[in-house]
Amino acid sequence: MILALEESEENDAGFVIMPNAAMPWRQQVLLYSIIAAFSLGVGVGFYFQGLTYILPFAGLEVGALGAALYFSARQGMKKEVIRIIKDKVRVETGRKQAENVHEFERSWVQVVMKQPQHQWYPSRLMLRSHGKQLEIGQFLNEEERKGLAIDLRNAI
């Protein structure tokens, strides 16, 4: 998902790039709770019938599902903020706040769309300047990546 930042005194242009969220966090917790209650309920039922090995495996299943949902939700919180400021292009990456900041000189930066070697691989969108390059929009689909490349070229 690509959101355009409003132009201000500080920013000439800007974009916020985020993965498309499949489901909000609260709904994921609710879904996980329902599945965990059902799975552990079945495990407890079998435990009281004398099948004691079912319950530990049900616990492992619930734990693995919880870890997978947490990892997926955490990856879905990634953001890339691209700010085009007077003579700089600044890329901030992180989750809730900027964890990494990369700056390029606006007059020298190039927006490069690198085509894959094989048809089934995704393309790569790069910002290049003075021997440095940074890949952006890795979690975007092809159409969004191409649209972002066009928007960045126009803004820069």
Whether residue 85 is found in the same domain as residue 61 = no
**Does residue 2 lie within any of the structural domains?**
no
User: Which residue segment(s) compose the domain that 63 sits in?
Assistant: 25-75
Same domain, 107 and 54: no
Band of pLDDT at residue 130, cut at 50, 70 and 90? confident
CA-based torsion, 65, 67, 73, 75: positive or negative = negative
Task: Give, rounded to a whole angstrom, the gap between the first and last alpha carbons of the chain.
Answer: 20
Residues 12 and 89 in one domain: yes
Q: Supply the pTM of this predicted model.
A: 0.74
> φ, ψ for residue 71 (rounded to 5)?
-60, -45
- Do 134 and 95 fall into the same domain? yes
How many domains is the chain built from? 2
- In whole angstroms, give the CA distance from residue 47 to residue 102: 56
Q: Are residues 53 and 120 in the same domain?
A: no
Task: Give pLDDT tens digits for 11-38.
Answer: 678 889 988 877 888 999 999 999 999 9
